[in-house]
Amino acid sequence: MRGATVSDDSPKNFWESRYADSERIWSGRVNPTMSSLVADLPAGRALDLGCGEGADVLWLAARGWQAMGIDISATAVAHGKAQAESHDLGDGSAVFLAADLPEGMPEGPFDLISASFLQSPVALDRQRILQTAADRVAVGGRLMLVSHATSPPWSTHRHGPDEMPTLEGDLSALVPRDAWEVQVGELRERSARGPNGEDATLEDLVILAKRLH
């Protein structure tokens, strides 16, 4: 996220202490937007960026994908690995890697590269990560991004509108532009419940792009 540094912590320390503070910080369920967009694609090699505790990776692996999740937090990745083993997906179907993006991006090609809420209150070079990811997508493969377009009202880290991802900003990572077919590129509203039971309508930025050549 551009210019969203609200802590002096390094991104690795920030996320590591977030994950180390509790047993689980996300729901453990696949992102429903991601699962609906990807459900009909033929299984292949997938990479999930900023995978957190790995729910999306496990969902892909259970559907026959050879799925890899990458996250800057070793604790989050260890959680994903443990889940993979307990779901009998530790045979290489669901693989987790602790690394800093974009430098640690594994070599492609991938049939699917996904990122659910690859956003951070501390430094994150989202643009360079997306450009590197786009380069690693196979011809015929997809890049799928689901992001907060506005901060959830219960978020403790409030971002200004110029710090949130935009359709135009994310699509600019698809280079050359005519090598990509944008199959979905829109804002979607969804209902959500906050940590203290508060109801809200959230706005997600949703992108599904297919690499043509």
Ligand X SMILES: C[S@@+](CC[C@H](N)C(=O)[O-])C[C@H]1O[C@@H](n2cnc3c(N)ncnc32)[C@H](O)[C@@H]1O
Q: Which amino acid is at 14?
A: F
Distance separating alpha carbons of residues 54 and 183, to the nearest angstrom: 25
Q: Is 47 in the site for ligand X (CB under 6 A)?
A: no
Asked if residue 34 lies in contact with residue 144, where contact means CB atoms within 8 angstroms, the answer is yes
From candidates 1, 4, 15, 110, binder to ligand X by CB under 6 A:
15
Q: How far is the CB of 212 from ligand X (least distance, A)?
A: 27
Distance separating alpha carbons of residues 20 and 121, to the nearest angstrom: 17
Structure tokens at 175: 């280079």
Q: How far is the CB of 119 from ligand X (least distance, A)?
A: 5
Distance separating alpha carbons of residues 74 and 20, to the nearest angstrom: 9
Q: Give residues 24-43 in contact with ligand X (rule: CB under 6 A).
A: 26, 31
From candidates 33, 75, 119, 132, binder to ligand X by CB under 6 A:
119
Between 29 and 177, CB nearer to ligand X: 29
Q: Show the binding pattern over residues 61-80: x = contacts ligand X (CB under 6 A), - = does not.
A: ----------xxx--x----
DSSP label of 211 = E
Using CB under 6 A as the binding criterion, the count of chain residues that bind ligand X stands at: 19
Count of alpha carbons within 13 Å of 92, Cβ hemisphere only? 1
Contact positions vs ligand X (CB under 6 A): 11, 15, 26, 31, 50-52, 71-73, 76, 100-101, 116-120, 124
